[in-house]
Amino acid sequence: MITRFTAYIEKDVETGCYVAIVPGIPGAHTQADTLDELHVRLKEVIELCLEEMDPEEKESIPEFVGLQQIEVTV
């Protein structure tokens, strides 16, 4: 069964690495020098995390709804 997950990706300003997390899956985070490498690593880490989860935990993974950008004055 193929399931789609949404990752949050940032570029670290100090290292230049891409950093990704998958909200709702504990331990599903990684980093890499390129987006292609990040994709491969993230897929591997998600598969490993899911293997360790019991069925109840898998059912409780939140559904991705979206992102919002909020403007504030600083």
Amino acid 23: pLDDT:
92
Angle at 21 between CA 50 and CA 26, to 5 degrees: 40
Answer yes or no: is pLDDT of 3 > 80. yes
CB 29 within 8 Å of CB 17: no
Q: Which domain holds residue 54?
A: 8-59
Residue 2 confidence (pLDDT): 79
Give yes or no for residue 15 having a pLDDT over 80: yes
Number of domains in the chain: 1
Residue type, 19: V
CA nearest 20: which of 37, 3, 68, 52? 37
Please indicate, yes or no, if residue 3 is contained in any of the structural domains.
no
The CATH number of residue 25's host domain is: 3.30.160.250
Task: Give domain status of residue 65, yes or no.
Answer: no
Non-local (6+) Cβ contacts of 5 within 8 A are 22, 25, 28, 46, 64
Q: Specify if 39 maps to a domain.
A: yes
In a domain, 53, yes or no: yes
Give the pLDDT score at 35.
97
Give mean pLDDT, residues 26-54: 97
